Amino acid sequence: MRLGYARVSTQDQDTHTQTAALMAAGCERIFQETAGGGRWERPQLHRLLDQLRPGDVVVVWKLDRLSRSLKDVLLILEKIDHAHAAFQSLTEAIETVTPAGRMLMQMVGAFAEFERAMLRERTQSGLEAARREGRVGGRRPKLTTLQRREIVALVTSGKKTNAEAARLFRVHPSTITRLLATQTPDV
């Protein structure tokens, strides 16, 4: 069975052009929805994917109607493949029915994997450079160095309890507990 999927991004648009092309391509059922291409919450797409049977062909008018994210396109194509179904994009003439079409999609997948690896490498490089410069990631400390010294002095001298120091400096009591745990006792 040939199953069509038509998507528009806004309520102002309609799927008429897409559905006409999908019907001309022999689609027996067409799933239509209005949703942004970057969103994963698309009930009609999920209904289509859940109903796939071996030998079915998912047809879209253009590849970007499936998703705007290459990662999501590859994930959707993987789901189609797991159902032993095929995929066809009418405008770009991409299809996974033939060996050449499957090879093309594998090449697209290889480029996407390469892109993810390069991004991961650039991110790691940037984090390492930041560490070398003394910058660390994460949230900024709530207490300054001076405030930490003052809290340690107040609590260790017995002038304030952990809870009182926490209220005084407007932090959670566990912040005070962690601060005191990092202090080495003077022996």
**Residues assigned a catalytic role:** 9
Strands 29-34 and 2-8: parallel
Query: What is the CB neighbour count within 10 angstroms for residue 41?
Result: 8
How far is Cα 59 from Cα 89, in angstroms, rounded to an integer? 6
How far is Cα 19 from Cα 113, in angstroms, rounded to an integer? 32
How far is Cα 18 from Cα 7, in angstroms, rounded to an integer? 8
